[in-house]
Structure formats: C-alpha cells, structure tokens
Amino acid sequence: MRKVKGRTDVKPDDEWYTPYDTARQVADWLAAHVPLDTPILCPADILPDGSEATIPQAARDAGFRSVRVTRDLPVDTFLPNWNKGELIFTNPPFSLLVPFRNFAAALGAKFCILSRPATMRNCWPIPALADRFISTEGKGVAAAWMQNIVDTSQPDPSEAIGNCLNCERKACPNNSMTGHLSPREDRPLYGWDTAVKNGTAGWHCREYTVNGKIHFARFLGEYK
C-alpha cells in the first residue's frame, strides 16, 4: 500500500504496510472459505520499487492459483481492470476507502481489505484478526480486516443499548443513510464500540428516542 501520486487528500497516516505473517493469516482464512481456484485481484500491492507487496505472495502461498496484481488506484466508482468474479484482496490507502466502498456496492464485488473501523458497510471482520493492526514498522493502527464473504458478526444481546421496537418515534424520518422511512422493528441497537468489535454490517440510527431523549446507536443487520 502506498500513497497515490497527485492526491491532495491523502493523510499522513494513510499507508501502513502489511507484514507477511499477517497477510498469510488473512490468506489462509480466505482459503478456508472460498475455493482455491477463485481469481484474486490485488489492486494496491505494487511497492514504490516496483516489486509486489506481501499480500499477493501470501495468497499464492495459501494455495490460490490465480492471483493478479495491478495498480488501478485511485478509484472513482470502479476499478478499470477488475473482472467480474474476482475477489479483491488488498490493503488500500485509507483515503480511498470510500471510493472503494462505492465501487464494491455498485458492482457487487467480493472483497477482503484492511479498513478503518466502520468505513466499509455490509461487511464483517475476520474474527482472529479483529484486534489492532500492526504494520511492518511495528506501528499499531486502528484498523481491521473486513470482508463481505461470510457473516462473522457475533453480537452479544446483553450488550444491546436498546431495541428499535421500543423507540418512541413511529418511524425514522428520512434516515440519511437509507433515504426512506423505516417502521419500528425488533432490531437490537448497539453502541459504536460494540458494533465495530462484532462486525459493522448495518446502519447507524440518529433518531432512537427513549424517555424523550435521542440516543446515537448502531444496529447489526440490514434493512429489510
């Protein structure tokens, strides 16, 4: 992962290289959940010296037989060289996570990427790698390996801070994340930390009201 030349919105903490051991753990997890003949695309894994980063090598070592490495960043709403059916496995610059999220949502791409907490939507962490990411420099980074292949969220009902069904509002008025009214449902609501720890699939609610007070909350699961 490296900064994209010419970008002005790349922050100083934008790039953190992945140690091989970490990349191999992720690759082994993928190998246990998708067929080894699944085509893999690594679109952010060319180092400044022109060599490959650790992720493509880890994917090959884990047994994947089709691993393609490109440098198709930055992205807008698509990756020019992405082929339908390819699983994207990469550690992208964090400043490009939102454009990547839009690309994945628009084209239905499967992915496994390193992400800032809660930046990606409708995806889940790899449980064994849900703790703080450690870069090749030994730097701890608030990030987790997120994927949209297997629902790994395991929320503890006892940690819920409320339930949509108990909200005093009749509906969520023009929810900014969904753009539509949502009826009250039996939907557990969790605080930000708990939602991130257990998986970020779902939306946040800014209208949850109990005893006349509005509480910020997240819930795990998609709107029906």
Give 73-137 as a DSSP string.
Answer: -S-SSS-TTPPTTPEEEE---GGGHHHHHHHHHHHT--EEEEE-TTTS-S-EE-GGG-S-EE-TT
DSSP-based three-state secondary structure for 156: coil
pLDDT of residue 29: 96
Q: pTM for the whole thing?
A: 0.74
pLDDT of residue 78: 75
pLDDT of residue 169: 79
Distance CA 143, CA 49 (A): 25
Map out the domains of the chain as residue ranges. 20-147, 157-218
Distance CA 66, CA 213 (A): 54
CATH classification code of 20-147? 3.40.50
pLDDT of residue 174: 46
Q: How confident is the prediction along the chain (224 residues), in pLDDT tens digits per residue? A: 344 444 444 444 567 889 999 999 999 999 999 999 999 999 988 888 888 999 999 999 999 999 999 887 777 677 888 999 999 999 988 888 888 988 998 899 999 999 887 688 778 888 888 667 888 887 888 788 999 999 887 777 888 888 888 888 766 654 444 444 466 778 788 877 676 666 655 566 777 888 888 877 766 555 43
DSSP characters over 23-86: HHHHHHHHHTTS-TTS-EEETB-B-TTS-B-HHHHHHHHTT-S-EEE-B--S-SSS-TTPPTTP
DSSP-based three-state secondary structure for 21: helix
